[in-house]
Amino acid sequence: MNQKKEKKRVDGVFLLDKPVGLSSNTALQKVRRLLNAKKAGHTGTLDPLASGLLPLCFGEATKFSADLLDAEKEYLAEIYFGQKTETGDSEGGVVETKSVCFTQEQLKRGLEKFIGEIEQVPPMYSALKKNGVPLYKIARSGETIERAPRKVVISRMDLLQFDLPKAVIRVACSKGTYIRVLAEDIAQALGTVAHLTALRRVRVGDVKICDAVTLDHFEKISEEERVQMLAPVDKLISSLPKIMLSEQQTERFHHGQKIMLEPQECFGRVRVYGLFGSCVKLMGTAQLSNTGFLIPERLVTFEV
């Protein structure tokens, strides 16, 4: 009888270029098995019909997954104008058709109206829950319930391709933004209807799709090569100001004690590194007060 392979500690971040048709959790479990990793998590889901950047966290990196969950996202979205579907994308049946009669310049001006803070009504076909039941399950039963609008921020929108009835736009937005709903709202403002035919995520915070690896390639290489492809744990918090501690401060911080520092140029949330002999290691995140107190927040566990 084959013995079950014992899972091992793996610390790091894998930047997956998720294919269309795979759920985020399925993708995570596939990569986890390939790494034989004990602990894993992702930084926010990507719809099965969407492709692109899905950062996956392993071991100590899971402590910082919320940093990318809250980060700005960037997408390439292909919109088909003139047809509305029940799901807002190409998976659903067409429920309404309208003529399409706007110019490229009118579309550009229409996009500009959505830049900034806007309100969106979440779609029925979403994972949001009502009394513990996902909305998409309620929608499949033919029922529609009222949803409260939510505020999101669109920081940038660019028209990349214009070939009616299709157009491709680049969208940079806050977490919780539904690009399907955005496409429908843009179409409505132009006097027509629309749905998404393709969606690709190309950026999460400071992490970009150009650094991602396909699942096919990851499957073909050895387990040792897979581990070497992981980005370090601090990849998820690289945008935070960096604090370097002395050996004495390192020992105190390592035991969860707050430290008084010399005046710093920054305050608020920071990433902290310590000296362990000749080695510099990430110790975690902390809050740095404007009076100089460094208060531990999330600490990395490792053997000294």
- 279-300 residue pLDDT tens: 899 999 999 998 889 999 999 8
Give the per-residue pLDDT at 7: 83
What is the separation, in whole angstroms, between the first and last Cα of the chain? 38
Quickly tell me which residue has 């996956």 as its tokens.
56
Q: Which domains does the chain have, with CATH numbers?
A: 12-71+207-236 (3.30.2350.10), 73-199 (3.30.2350.10), 240-299 (2.30.130.10)
Q: Check if the beta carbon of residue 223 is closer than 8 Å to that of residue 36.
A: yes
Name residue 150's amino acid.
R
3-state class (DSSP) for residue 113:
coil
Active site residue 47: yes
Give the per-residue pLDDT at 1: 46
- CA–CA separation, 147 and 265 (whole Å): 44
Give the per-residue pLDDT at 264: 77
- Find the radius of gyration of the CA atoms of the chain: 23
Q: Which of 47, 67, 89, 234 is catalytic?
A: 47
Degrees (nearest 5) of the Cα angle 108, 114, 117?
155
Q: Check if the beta carbon of residue 179 is closer than 8 Å to that of residue 196.
A: yes
DSSP string, 28-78: HHHHHHHHTBS-EEESS---TT-EEEEEEEEGGGGGGHHHHHSS-EEEEEE
Q: Which residues of the chain have pLDDT under 50?
A: 1, 304
